[in-house]
């Protein structure tokens, strides 16, 4: 029996690469957990660690304002983190802005246009639509179509 649907990517990677990816993911998730545990809100929600090597902690911030806050408070942040064994050799903070993350969180989801339910029966709406198709006066035709609850057959001008 064959399995349909998504497949495990790891099954297609060589063992050495799969092991390196696993180690890297463990390091990043461990780093993120320590960051969130030792840095309070709202900073932990608007910045996240990317790497920590040889005393240098690289961060990404949602906006330039959050990056500026990290840069402004870097001394206080370093001292706060150095009290914890995981960051014992921390000497430098490096922060960059990654606006795509913030943009993705702010973008509103597309709204689906919902028409209000009609106050007339479907058979009456069908009759009104059929009568409207035979009317030559455009204003009367639009009014009848609106009464029947059907969308007009013309393109609305863009604003």
* Superfamily of 16-106 according to CATH: DnaA, N-terminal domain (3.30.300.180)
Q: What is the pLDDT of residue 85?
A: 81
Q: What is the pLDDT of residue 155?
A: 46
**DSSP 8-state class, residue 63:** S
User: Is residue 49 within 8 Å of 58, Cβ to Cβ?
Assistant: yes
Mark the ranges of the chain whose per-residue pLDDT is less than 50. 152-153, 155
pLDDT number for residue 152: 47
CATH 3.30.300.180 range(s) for the chain read 16-106
- Would the pTM of this model clear 0.75, i.e. be above it? no
The residues, any chain, with a CB within 8 Å of residue 132's CB and separated by 6 or more, are: 141, 144, 145, 148
> For the purposes of burial, counting CB atoms within 10 Å of the CB of 61, is it exposed (0-12), middle (13-18) or buried (19 or more)?
buried
What does R_g of the chain's alpha carbons equal in angstroms?
30
The pLDDT of residue 106? 58
């Amino acid at each position: 029996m064959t399995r349909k649907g998504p497949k495990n990517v790891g099954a297609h990677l060589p063992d050495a690469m799969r092991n390196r990816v696993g180690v890297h993911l463990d390091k990043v998730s461990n780093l993120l957990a320590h960051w969130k545990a030792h840095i309070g809100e709202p900073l932990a929600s608007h910045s996240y660690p990317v790497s920590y090597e040889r005393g240098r902690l690289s961060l990404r911030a949602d906006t330039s304002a959050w990056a500026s806050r990290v840069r402004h408070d870097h001394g206080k942040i370093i001292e706060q983190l150095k009290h914890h064994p995981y960051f014992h050799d921390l000497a430098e903070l490096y922060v960059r802005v990654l606006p795509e993350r913030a943009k993705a969180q702010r973008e509103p989801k597309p709204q689906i246009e919902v028409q209000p339910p009609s106050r007339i029966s479907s058979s009456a709406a069908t009759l009104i639509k059929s009568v409207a198709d035979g009317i030559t006066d455009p204003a009367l035709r639009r009014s009848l179509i609106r009464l029947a609850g059907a969308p007009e057959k013309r393109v609305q001008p863009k604003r």
